[in-house]
Amino acid sequence: MKFKLLVLVGLLFTLNVNAQFEWPNGAKAAVVFTYDDGLDCHLDVAIPQLDEFGFKGTFYCTGNSPSLASRLNEWREIVKNGHELGNHTLFHPCDANVHSWVKPEYDLNSYTLEQIIAELKTANTLLEAVDGKLTRTFGYTCSNYIAGGMDFTDNIKEMFFAARCDGSIPKTIKDYKVHKAPSWGVESPTFEELKEYVEVAKANGTIAVFMFHSVGGGYLNIGANEHRKLMEYVKANEDEFYCDSFINVMSYIKQNQ
Q: Spell out the CATH class of 33-256.
A: alpha beta
Q: Which residues contact 141 (CB under 8 A, 6 or more apart)?
A: 62, 88, 89, 92, 93, 94, 108
pTM of the model: 0.92
Instruction: Say if CB 32 and CB 206 are below 8 A apart.
Output: no
What is the rounded CA–CA span in Å between residue 240 and residue 163?
Answer: 25
SS3 150: strand
Strands (E), the chain: 29-36, 58-61, 84-87, 138-139, 146-147, 150-151, 163-164, 184-185, 207-212, 241-243
DSSP state letter for 179: G
Q: How far apart are the first and last CA of the chain?
A: 36
What is the rounded CA–CA span in Å between residue 64 and residue 33?
Answer: 22
DSSP-H helix ranges across 18-174: 40-41, 47-53, 66-70, 72-80, 113-131
- Reading the chain (257 residues) residue by residue, the pLDDT tens digits are 433 433 333 433 334 444 579 999 999 999 999 999 999 999 999 999 999 999 999 999 999 999 999 999 999 999 999 999 999 999 999 999 999 999 999 999 999 999 999 999 999 999 999 999 999 999 999 999 999 999 999 999 999 999 999 999 999 999 999 999 999 999 999 999 999 999 999 999 999 999 999 999 999 999 999 999 999 999 999 999 999 999 999 999 999 98
